[in-house]
Structure 1
Amino acid sequence: MNPTVLAVTRRIRDRSAKSRAEYLERVQRAIDRPRGSERMGCANVAHAFAALPSDDKLRVVAERAPNIGIVNAYNDMLSAHQPYEGFPAVIRDEARQQGATAQVAGGVPAMCDGVTQGLPGMELSLFSRDTIAMGTAIALTHDVFDAALLLGICDKIVPGLLIGALHFGHLPCVFVPGGPMSSGLSNNEKSKVREQYAQGLVGRDKLLEAESAAYHGPGTCTFYGTANSNQMLMEAMGLHVPGAAFIHPHDGMREALTREAVRTVLEITKGRRFTPIGQLVDERVIVNAMVALLATGGSTNHLIHWVAVARAAGIAIDWTDFSELSQVTPLLARVYPNGSADVNQFQAAGGPGFVIRELLDHGVMHADVAAVAEGGIGAYTRVPQREGERLVWSQLPAKSGDDHVVRTAAAPFSETGGLKLLTGNLGRAVIKVSAVPAERHVVEAPAIVFETQEELLAAFKAGELERDLVAVVRFQGPRSNGMPELHKLTPPLAVLQGKGFRVALVTDGRMSGASGKVPAAIHVSPEVLAGGALGKVRTGDRIRLDAVAGTLDALVDADEWAARETAQLSDAHRDINAHGLGRDLFGGMRRNVLSAEEGAVTWL
């Protein structure tokens, strides 16, 4: 094992000793109880199973057959979640074949950030994660289940389901993905049209044509954003059926993998190879997820989400842990926006199995961890294949299927991972360096301060940004407006960078898994509404973003800086953020949310 990985893991374990021990004690108390149908009153049991067919009632009550709870994030607004409509019937059928029962315990909301990007609905996006966690808890709190299957893929949905499941840590759980859509218009071509539209070179008709050619069918979007990073991390944590992440929804193997998920969760129920999720997800498994994220240049959102996931298991991690792991984690994948390939090309080149094998062999992932699959995390270095009606798993070739997309640890794209911590007089922030050209890792330029992304877009359209600049977009943190993604700022900033200007973005908001080639210091903490130093910046101040040294500073005289007051959010903006399109309902979350580095959790 790499000594830095071991040291970070030990530090996390020591830091978390008390909270983790308390968590495991609660898990064990729940494990030690009698089964739900034996523990509960007769009326409770009757209500729980009233709608089951008679033979299923007999199985679960008299024969004590395992009962699987399904938590489903189905809706047909999300292309990735539309295929889930038919999954419960498949799961119930397979459960019956295995002598068990299955019930849809509940559904959870699942919003599409692609639909709400740049609109008021995006201000509910981050908070939807904790809403999903609570919805998962409501579903599972019926407390008649021996195991759970969790059906979700996209941005906040998987972290929310995982947080919710970890609050039921006594249950064995398997996550069931649906797969990516087929490749359409390439991500690079789509981005070119977006930049042309930002410059007024093409109209809305051409933009809509391009977007519709890129997002065109069932399955996840094909770039390596938060949704597909989720799937990589589920593999690296051993919570999927091995190799399930990136099989197309309509591939014949998808149903076979879903049925295998039923068999897998039954194999790890009590009395068998018992593997409850609360015991499975320990400090080493969290570190494995962090390393897999870094090795693939994954979504910056996970520097928030996985802090929250770890907290749900009594484990405390922070951005320093990510930064130190990044220094020893080789970058093994180039998938858009960190390269030109999409996730289907990533899968064809070797996919998660290839990456996990290389990381294990390189000593930067813990091999001695539990997983839902028999054989532990080593099972995730193989890929599923059909042999007639049977699923089998085979070894991947030693060489990459395409070394422009996936490489070995012996010949990585970079010796270090895709994310970097920035610190300085502006606070703590992160930058996704894997997508940024090396000559753009250091930017020093005058600041132009904006309080909304709309202000920046208006300035760009008015031709006021034709210069070297650091765009400071503030009041975008969790407490201000729910920390919406600012992905719509990428095309205009990319246009300016393409004209030869030195350009960067600094914000207490998010840029999502689609963070691209423009250097962006994001998640600046503390956020301005919590007194963060970004509120002291004035238009014209020189800002230095140095991703090589890991610094983020306003180059202002120290005495003047100390004397400056922090800007306040205007009443008009505060009122806009608080009302309309459901935002009123989330006022309590905005008031109680912790910082981005603390996971932006609302339940502590």
Structure 2
Amino acid sequence: MAIKDRVGEVTERIVKRSHDSRSVYLDRIGKAADQGPQRSRLSCGNLAHGFAACGLSDKAALSGDVVPNLGIITAYNDMLSAHQPYETYPDLIRQAARDVGAVAQVAGGVPAMCDGVTQGQDGMELSLFSRDVIAMAAAVGLSHQMFDAAVFLGICDKIVPGLTIAALSFGHLPAVFIPAGPMTTGISNDEKAKVRQLYAEGKVGRDALLESESKAYHSPGTCTFYGTANSNQMLMEIMGLHMPGASFVNPGTPLREALTKEAAKRALAISALGNEFTPAGEIIDEKAIVNGVVGLHATGGSTNHTMHLVAMAAAAGIRLTWDDISDLSDVVPLLARVYPNGKADVNHFQAAGGLAFLIRELLGDGYLHQDVKTVYGSDLSGYTVEAKLDADGNVIRDLAPQISGDETVLAPAAKAFQPTGGLKMLTGNIGKAVIKISAVAKERHIIEAPARVFHSQEAFLTAFSNKELNGDIAAVVRFQGPKACGMPELHKLTPSLGILQDRGHKVALITDGRMSGASGKVPAAIHVTPEAANGGPIAKIQDGDLIRINAVTGELTVLVDEAEFDARPVAQEDLSHHQFGVGRDLFAAFRANVGTADAGAHVFDV
């Protein structure tokens, strides 16, 4: 199937825009690859340090240059449900390497924080910056130059983007990402949301809320809603860095273990010492990035990726913009309804046909580039398969089903839930912003309401508790951007905003902060840039100003006389209380040097 005109046009302009930076990047990783295995240039003292803790057979293997060594970068910790399964993966990977006459070593660990734990807490102000810390920590692990390929064990919000940036920094090395899978289904997402709203209204107590949350988040694995973590897994598969069918297999199952071993062996096979050398920096090209954006739109994925994908692309010398993302959203159909865009969870999505069905549908209608490189060795058509086990416990793959198992969860392209994607870019005299509309009712895609300005989500919640918010409201929550305080998610606002909306009021949120991968039914213009701390127009908005959000035309405007608005002073805020406590003092350099949201909100000079 020929690629859709708009998809081809966007791809071509990304290629042209990225020509110089991509050429420099490919030249750099090409020279690194030409140098061959790095261990050959280590001194005897260097090498002895590098394998001192290995067994005799591994030491003997690593003494020469003919046996590949696989570096493991792990985000394991047992506080995060999604990452707890990784505890046993290094042993599985080491054994898989030995099975093919190779070696594997844990190269390093990276931090992995949970936005679910820090939501609404001070620690959330480290969340976005943790992505860049993860990239740097992974780089430290790989900098020993002991490795011919790497596998990356990470799954959640900032972890996979950070690991991807690191993999692309070492883009001359092959890289395979190994997921751990989602937890099994708990209580329904509707039931969980209902209890949260009842708690916000004071109708149930903390004990009932905790019981509900514990039934939703109940075992090892990722949370089952379609937020940033599961959007990450979709991206790694549709961009060719997972083994086909690996993303949404539950932890602790024989198939999950077999896929892990298979991924380790595949990473070794595509090293420079194998027969199918496939460096990560060649897999992630302009077409792969466009495929990722298309997948994000088709599944109604996380708003966080409007920053992460830009930062990930930049690490490979590719210049992706919000305009590119927005233009693709205008033509890519929404094919998945997974909470918060529907009632189902990611396990239901997988059972209905999962990514194999989705990729086949998008390829068949010309929305995805088929002619890309993947870690599997095929083009993208090799990902239209489901992973299973044969009688001997080996991974086998069957073609995706021709019919969706549940068209209320996963639709064929001919019956798309809507003709456009789940994300939209907004522009106007307030600046640029992102809105997720896949979960927002059509009658709320256009909102005009008077502004009520807050400088923290706590101030908004106090006003709500004091019953001060009794009509239509465009809640402006500013000084939440990356330079101000690290750009925390403001998901704590969701229940209260939802209550106001359910009372029949016109409700919208405008913020230079984030609103999480689980952005829901209330229209929210997020990631506003320039942010208030940079003197952006959002800092000029006053209580009572009429604000228009139009997700149809992409407008974000304060309806104030232009001359009057320009003449207004920029609001100031004492941000010193965001600079200390829970480690925030250690991140001053990040706040001082971070880029804007539309440029990826990263601290790297790329």
The normalised TM-score by structure 2 is 0.98
Shift of 1:547: 0.6
- Name the aligned partner's letter for residue 67 of structure 2: A
**What percentage of residue pairs aligned between the two structures are identical?**
59
Aligned to 2:538: 534
1:101-500 paired onto structure 2 within 5 Å: 101-270=103-272, 271-388=274-391, 389-500=393-504
**SS of residue matched to 1:70:** strand
Aligned to 1:602: 603
**SS of residue matched to 2:342:** coil
Asked if the contact 2:310/2:320 (under 8 Å) is kept, the reply is yes
Could you tell me how far apart the structure 1 residues matched to 2:15 and 2:379 are? Answer: 21
User: Which deviations, in whole Å up to 9, do the C-alpha atoms of 1:197-255 show, x marking residues without a partner?
Assistant: 00000000100010011001000000000000000001100100111111010121000
| 1:16 equivalent in alignment to 2:26 | no
Aligned to 2:594: 593
**SS of residue matched to 1:410:** helix
- Name the aligned partner's letter for residue 453 of structure 1: Q
Could you tell me how far apart the structure 2 residues matched to 1:374 and 1:592 are? Answer: 39
Asked if the contact 2:186/2:216 (under 8 Å) is kept, the reply is yes
Could you tell me how far apart the structure 2 residues matched to 1:580 and 1:40 are? Answer: 42
User: Which deviations, in whole Å up to 9, do the C-alpha atoms of 1:468-501 show, x marking residues without a partner?
Assistant: 0100000000000000000000000001101111
1:572-583 paired onto structure 2 within 5 Å: 574-583=575-584
Aligned to 1:504: 508
5+ long unaligned stretches in structure 2: none
**SS of residue matched to 1:383:** strand
Could you tell me how far apart the structure 2 residues matched to 1:597 and 1:262 are? Answer: 35
| 1:544 equivalent in alignment to 2:545 | no
User: Which deviations, in whole Å up to 9, do the C-alpha atoms of 1:401-435 show, x marking residues without a partner?
Assistant: 00000011111001110011111000010100101
**SS of residue matched to 1:434:** coil
Aligned to 1:81: 83
User: Which deviations, in whole Å up to 9, do the C-alpha atoms of 1:23-63 show, x marking residues without a partner?
Assistant: 01110111011322211111001111111111111112236
Asked if the contact 2:475/2:508 (under 8 Å) is kept, the reply is yes
Shift of 1:122: 0.1
Aligned to 2:29: 27
**SS of residue matched to 1:435:** coil
1:44-123 paired onto structure 2 within 5 Å: 44-62=46-64, 64-123=66-125
User: Which deviations, in whole Å up to 9, do the C-alpha atoms of 1:360-418 show, x marking residues without a partner?
Assistant: 11101100000000222111110111111221100121111000000111110011100
Could you tell me how far apart the structure 2 residues matched to 1:85 and 1:381 are? Answer: 30
- Name the aligned partner's letter for residue 427 of structure 1: G
Aligned to 2:528: 524
User: Which deviations, in whole Å up to 9, do the C-alpha atoms of 1:544-590 show, x marking residues without a partner?
Assistant: 11111110100001110111111112x2xx11111111000000000
- Name the aligned partner's letter for residue 142 of structure 2: L
- Name the aligned partner's letter for residue 277 of structure 1: A
Asked if the contact 2:39/2:65 (under 8 Å) is kept, the reply is no
User: Which deviations, in whole Å up to 9, do the C-alpha atoms of 1:526-554 show, x marking residues without a partner?
Assistant: 11111211001000000011111110100
Shift of 1:310: 0.3
Could you tell me how far apart the structure 2 residues matched to 1:580 and 1:62 are? Answer: 49
Could you tell me how far apart the structure 1 residues matched to 2:42 and 2:96 are? Answer: 27
Could you tell me how far apart the structure 2 residues matched to 1:192 and 1:556 are? Answer: 38
- Name the aligned partner's letter for residue 298 of structure 1: G
**SS of residue matched to 2:435:** strand
Decide whether aligned partners of structure 1 residues 63 and 21 sit closer, same or farther in structure 2, where only a CA change above 3 A counts.
closer
User: Which deviations, in whole Å up to 9, do the C-alpha atoms of 1:486-524 show, x marking residues without a partner?
Assistant: 000000000110111110000000001010000000001
Give the ranges of 4+ consecutive aligned residues of structure 1 lying more than 4 Å apart after TM superposition: none
Could you tell me how far apart the structure 2 residues matched to 1:162 and 1:113 are? Answer: 19
**SS of residue matched to 1:405:** coil
Could you tell me how far apart the structure 2 residues matched to 1:550 and 1:266 are? Answer: 46
Could you tell me how far apart the structure 2 residues matched to 1:35 and 1:163 are? Answer: 22
Shift of 1:262: 1.1
Could you tell me how far apart the structure 2 residues matched to 1:199 and 1:390 are? Answer: 52
Could you tell me how far apart the structure 2 residues matched to 1:326 and 1:60 are? Answer: 49
5+ long unaligned stretches in structure 1: none
The normalised TM-score by structure 1 is 0.99
- Name the aligned partner's letter for residue 58 of structure 1: A
**SS of residue matched to 1:305:** helix
Aligned to 1:584: 585
- CA-atom RMSD in angstroms: 0.7
